[in-house]
Amino acid sequence: MNSLDLDDCFQTALDLAKEAGLIISEAFKKAKKVEEKTSPRDLVTETDKLIEDQVISKLQELYPNHKFIGEESTAAGIKCELTNDPTWIIDPVDGTLNFVHSFPYTCISIALWVDKKPCLGVVYNPVLQQLYTARKNAGAFLNGERIRVSGKEDLSRSLVVMEMGYRPDEKKMEVVHRNAKKLIERCHGTRALGSAALDMCLVAEGAAEVYWENGLHAWDMAASVLLITEAGGVVLDITGGPHDLMNRRVLCAASPQLAQQMVQLLEVYDEDRD
């Protein structure tokens, strides 16, 4: 493998995110062509497919030796595998359900991982004009301004963002409800906004203290985990162990103390790996 020019890769990710942003903005207020994937709440639109095709074709042309993981390619049966090779991980429209409803909390997420670690991440919400960027050891930014986590340590004074991750699975939903109840009773407030990638950016910019989810996918979090760590936050597995991108779970917090309080509280539900 030739040596990697990360400046060039970062510029490419930015350009592709902005191009995708134009497509999302253009389609945002219009009627969408929607298909159901695994359930009536798991949706794909023609915009998701168009953006993923466009982004992956361009990346393949520029970096023929790199690997790719994309939400819609995986849905179409392409193997989702993270190796040590440079791997681009793409969610063409995160918050698809929001996008379908024209709820302005939707984005494209592009990440590059090398040696199973994130090198760069770009998350762009073109509707609210929020461009989140991070590069390893170079900080996290919103529209070019440095962002940092709030650093709060006390759960009772923390805003917790969580997605309920609905599945037609009674056992899973019992765990979801028990976790939600415990948090509602203990934290300052809870929010559920419908885009894991943007939820994590809220923690990175210090607007919320915690985000966790049991059941999301690698493409939902691949860029935003770097945003959190570069903003000084903590990313762990919900069990308190190291975060594993393919394990369908994440716990992000504004401080290690807060992460530990969450680990003590949360019950885990095992999902199939990506």
**From the annotation, which residues make up the binding site for Mg(2+)?**
71, 91, 94, 220
Minimum distance, C-beta of residue 140 to ligand IPD, in the bound complex (Å): 19
Kindly tell me the burial class for residue 18, based on how many C-beta atoms sit within 10 Å of its own C-beta (0-12, 13-18, 19 or more).
middle
CB of 114 to ligand IPD, least distance (A): 23
Restricting to residues 45-74, name those near ligand IPD by CB under 6 A.
Answer: 71
Q: Which residues pair with 251 in a beta bridge?
A: 212, 236
CB 82 within 8 A of CB 113: yes
For residue 10, give the amino acid letter.
Answer: F
Strands 117-125, 107-114: pairing is antiparallel
For ligand IPD, the binding residue among 216, 226, 227, 262 (CB under 6 A) is 216
Spatial distance between the Cα atoms of 40 and 198, rounded to a whole number of angstroms? 22
Please report how close the Cβ of residue 217 comes to ligand IPD at its closest, in angstroms: 6
Please state the φ and ψ torsions of residue 191, each to the nearest 5 degrees.
Answer: -140, 145
Q: Which of 21, 95, 126, 233 binds ligand IPD (CB under 6 A)?
A: 95
Helix boundaries (H) for 63-195: 71-75, 96-100, 170-186
In whole angstroms, give the CA distance from residue 79 to residue 74: 6
**Interacting span for ligand IPD (CB under 6 A) from 4-12, 129-137, 213-221, 255-263:** 213-221
Residues touching ligand IPD, count (CB under 6 A): 16
Closest to ligand IPD by CB, 125 vs 195, is 195
Q: Report the site for ligand IPD in 171-200 (rule: CB under 6 A).
A: 194-196
Q: Which residue is nearest to ligand IPD (CB)?
A: 163
- Return the number of the residue (108 or 114) whose C-beta is nearest ligand IPD: 108
Site for ligand IPD in 97-116 (CB under 6 A): 97
Question: For residues 114 and 200, which CB has a smaller minimum distance to ligand IPD in the complex?
Answer: 200
215 binds ligand IPD per the rule CB under 6 A: yes
Residues ≥6 apart with Cβ < 8 Å to 31? none
Identity of the residue numbered 47: T
User: How many Å is the Cα radius of gyration of the chain?
Assistant: 17
d(CA 270, CA 247): 9
Binding of ligand IPD by 94 (CB under 6 A) = yes
In angstroms, what is the minimal distance from the CB of 137 to ligand IPD? 27
Annotated binding site: 71, 91, 94, 220
Rule CB under 6 A: is residue 220 a binding residue for ligand IPD?
yes
Cα 262 off chain centre by: 19
With respect to ligand IPD, which residue has the nearer C-beta, 6 or 75? 75
Could you tell me how far CA 60 lies from the centroid of its own chain?
A: 22
Residue 91 near ligand IPD by CB under 6 A: yes
β-pairing verdict for 34-36 and 43-45 = antiparallel
Query: Which spans of this chain sit near ligand IPD (rule: CB under 6 A)?
Result: 71, 91, 94-97, 163, 165, 194-196, 213, 215-217, 220
